[in-house]
Amino acid sequence: MIELTNVSKTFTLHNQGGAVLEVMRGANLTVPAGECVALTGASGAGKSTLMRIIYGNYLAAGGSVVVGGVDVTQSEPRDILKLRREVLGYVSQFLRVVPRVHTIEVVAEPLLSLGIPMDEAKDRAASLLQKLNIPEPLWSLSPTTFSGGEQQRVNIARGFAHSYPALLLDEPTASLDATNREIVLGLIEEAKANGTAIVGIFHDEAARERVCDREIDVTGFSPLAAA
């Protein structure tokens, strides 16, 4: 489902003397449907960079990133957006929303963009919010004023609204209490059982043990390790 071949990444800082930072070289990774792979490595090792490259948010300097048959590094913006709508989901660490939009609509939005009718999308959103213990009176408020943990759960609900065949998770259980952590892990297991290929960053070791089939240390993708 997700296949990275010989991916490299450099950052060129034109306004800081044209410094060129080579941060990744020769990254290879294959994640078949139904498997969950955890990216590990110290802070700054490139876990998030690799996730962002898979999502098309960072431009790879070389190599190919094929998700569901589409090479993210070679595709037009509209093809990447189509991929993100239909195939590739991403739960980031932080919720980024348009101010003023109600929580339930934030969660339903990925479904609406797939052309699913408003009622059906809202039903699905409501059941996810319920499951993640977001009190119903909050559904018609904007999540911008919510607590960190609540925002995180809204973000997760949004990420799981559509059952994407491929999913990227950036610390999905951080800032959650034990009950909600359990629910989120349940959602991940459910997605796996449905055949979703998952790449995740989990600092929570117990969570990693439980849902991940494999660990990949991204330190191995640094240019120093390759040299």
Partner 1 sequence: MTPLLSVKDVSKYYGNRIGCANVGFDLYPGEVMGIVGESGSGKSTLLNCLAGHHAPDTGEVVFDTRTDGPRDTLQMSEPERRMLGRTDWAFVHQHARDGLRMGVSAGGNVGERLMAVGQRHYGDIRAQAVDWLGRVEIDEDRVDDRPTAFSGGMQQRLQIARNLVTGPRLVFMDEPTGGLDVSVQARLLDLLRGLVRDLGLSAIIVTHDLAVVRLLADRLMVMKSGHVVETGLTDQVLDDPQHGYTQLLVSSVLQV
Count other Cβ atoms within 10 Å, centred on residue 64.
Answer: 14
CB of 201 to partner 1, least distance (A): 17
Is the CB of 18 or the CB of 135 nearer to partner 1? Answer: 18
Is the CB of 81 or the CB of 226 nearer to partner 1? Answer: 81
CB of 77 to partner 1, least distance (A): 4
Is the CB of 99 or the CB of 135 nearer to partner 1? Answer: 99
Structure-token match 């499951």, residue found: 131
Is the CB of 101 or the CB of 206 nearer to partner 1? Answer: 101
Is the CB of 151 or the CB of 173 nearer to partner 1? Answer: 151
Residue type, 81: L
Nearest to 134 by CA among 150, 123, 111: 150
CB of 161 to partner 1, least distance (A): 15
Strand order in the sheet with 166-170: 88-91, 166-170, 197-201, 36-40, 214-217
CA 149 to chain centre: 17
| C-alpha count within 13 angstroms, C-beta hemisphere, residue 4 | 25
H-helix or E-strand spanning residue 91: strand 88-91
CB of 39 to partner 1, least distance (A): 18
**Under a CB-based contact definition with an 8 Å cutoff, are residues 194 and 163 in contact?**
yes
CB of 96 to partner 1, least distance (A): 8
Point out which residues bind partner 1 (CB under 8 A).
11-15, 52, 56-59, 77-78, 80-81, 98-101, 112-113
